[in-house]
Structure 1
Amino acid sequence: MMRLSRKAWNNVVIISMLLMIFFFNGLHKKLNTQPVEEGVQALLPEQSFILAMAFPELKIERIGTSWRSQSQQETTWQGNEQQLEQLVELWQHQKLTIANLPVSKISQTSADYVASVWLAGEQLPAVYQLYNIDQQYYLLDKRLQRVFELEQADAAKLFPLYPF
C-alpha cells in the first residue's frame, strides 16, 4: 500500500474531485446537445419567441400582441401590421437546407444583407447574413455557425427590403 502524508492525500482527493467535475461537465454537455442533422433544419430554435427584428433600413418590435415597424431610413417596403406578423411568422417557422459550403469560405466575402433577431431569453441577437455567391443565395447563422442554401424566392420572402 502507498504511504502518503496527510497533505499528499488531500492533493489526491482534490485532483480526483477536479477530474470528476470535468468528466461530469463534459458528459452533461454531450448528453444535452442536439445531434446535428444534415439536410433541412429550422432557421430559429423551436419554441423560440421573437421580440424584435432589425434590418439595415427597418426595425420591427413586438408591442403587446401586435408588431410595430420603425424606419431607420427611406425604404421601398412599408409593411402593414399583418405583413409584419407574416414576416415574423415566416422567420419563426422557416426550415432551410444546410449547404455543403464551409463557413470559412463564405466568411471571406462581405455579406449582401444582414438581419438581427432578438429572441426571448437571449442577451444578444441572432445575426443572419445573406450572401449571393455564383448566382446562389446562402444564409449564414453567425451564432451557430451554420450555412443555409436558399432559393431566390425564399430569400425574397425573408428579406423583403433587399433588392433582388
Structure 2
Amino acid sequence: MILPCFLFTSLFMVKLSQRAWNNVIIVSMLALIMLFNLSSNFLNDDSDAPAFSTLIPQGLLISTIEFSNAKVERVGQGWRIESKLSVSKDLQGLLDVWQSVEVSPFEENLQWGDSQPKVTVWFIGQAEPIEYYFLILADKTLVKLGQQTYQLVNVNYQTLIPTE
C-alpha cells in the first residue's frame, strides 16, 4: 500500500507532458479494471452451489443429442434427425424441453446397471460430451451425471426422447 501511494505522490512532483499524463491515466484505468475483475471473481465465488440446477448447464449450446434410437443434430439454426423411426415430435420443442428441464440433487444411494437408457449430449465448443443415464421409477425420473444423481423436477423421461 505504501509503494503505490509513494509512486502516486511522486508523479505529482514530476513535470510530465500531456502525452505522459494520458499514458499514466490509461495504465491506471487498466489496473482498476483488472482489480475490479479479479475482486468480482473473488467475491462471487459459488463453490458451494450445486453443479447443475438445470439438466443442460447454463450457457452451453447443444450441437448433437444421441439417443439409443435416434440422433438429433444442429444444422445452421435448425435441427435434423437421423432415426429409424418416423418421428412426429417437433425437434425445436424437444430441444427447448432439454434446455428448460430443472433437476434437484437426489441423495439416496441406488444401484445403477448397464440397462438404463443413456443419452449423450455434445455441446458447441466442448471437446467431450456429457452422458446422461436415466432411471425411471414409478413416481420419479432420476438422471446420473458423472457420480451425482439428480431428480427431474418438471418433466419425465418420455418428454425428453423423440417418439413415433
- Give the TM-score band, short-chain normalised: 0.5 to 0.7
1:9 aligns with none
How far is 1:37 from its partner?
3.5
- Pick from 102, 119, 124: which aligns with 2:123? 119
Normalised by the length of structure 1, the TM-score is 0.62
Q: Aligned-pair RMSD on alpha carbons?
A: 3.0
Counterpart amino acid of residue 122 in structure 1: Q
Corresponding residue for 1:36? 49
Q: State how far apart, in whole Å, the 2-side matches of 1:37 and 1:125 are.
A: 20
Distance 1:110 1:133 in 2: 16
**1:106 to 2:114 alignment:** no
Mapped contact 1:137–1:150 kept (Cα < 8 A): yes
Taking a change above 3 Å as real, the CA distance of residues 111 and 137 of structure 1, as seen in their structure-2 partners, is farther
Structure 1 101/160 Cα, relative in aligned 2: closer, same or farther at 3 Å?
farther
Judging by fraction of residues, say which structure has more strand: 1
**Among candidates 35, 52, 60, match of residue 48 of structure 1:** 60
Q: Please, which runs of 5 or more residues in structure 2 have no aligned partner? A: 1-40
Task: Name the amino acid aligned to 2:126.
Answer: E
Q: TM-score, normalised by structure 2?
A: 0.62
* Residues 111 and 129, structure 1, Cα contact 8 Å, conserved in 2: no
Is there any run of 5+ residues in structure 1 with no aligned partner, and where? Answer: 1-27
2:102 is the alignment partner of 1:90: no
- Partner-residue secondary structure (3-state), 2:68: coil
1:137 aligns with 2:141: yes
- SS class of match (1:112): coil
- Map of 1:67-78 to 2, 5 A cutoff? 67-71=79-83, 73=84, 75=85, 78=87
Aligned to 1:79: 88
CA 1:94–1:152 in 2, change beyond 3 Å: closer, same or farther?
Answer: closer
Q: Verify the 8 A CA contact 1:116 1:125 in the aligned structure 2.
A: yes
Q: Which amino acid letter does the alignment assign opposite residue 66 of structure 1?
A: G
Deviation at 1:138, TM superposition (A): 1.2
Q: Deviations over 1:102-143 (max 9, x none)?
A: 4xx333x2342111110112111110011135764211113x
Q: Is the 8 A contact 1:138 1:150 kept in 2?
A: yes
**Inter-CA distance 114–159: structure 2 relative to 1 (3 Å threshold):** same
Instruction: Number of aligned residue pairs: give it.
Output: 122
3-state secondary structure, aligned to 2:60? coil
Q: Which residue of 2 aligns with 1:65?
A: 77
- Tell me the CA shift for residue 146 of structure 1: 2.3
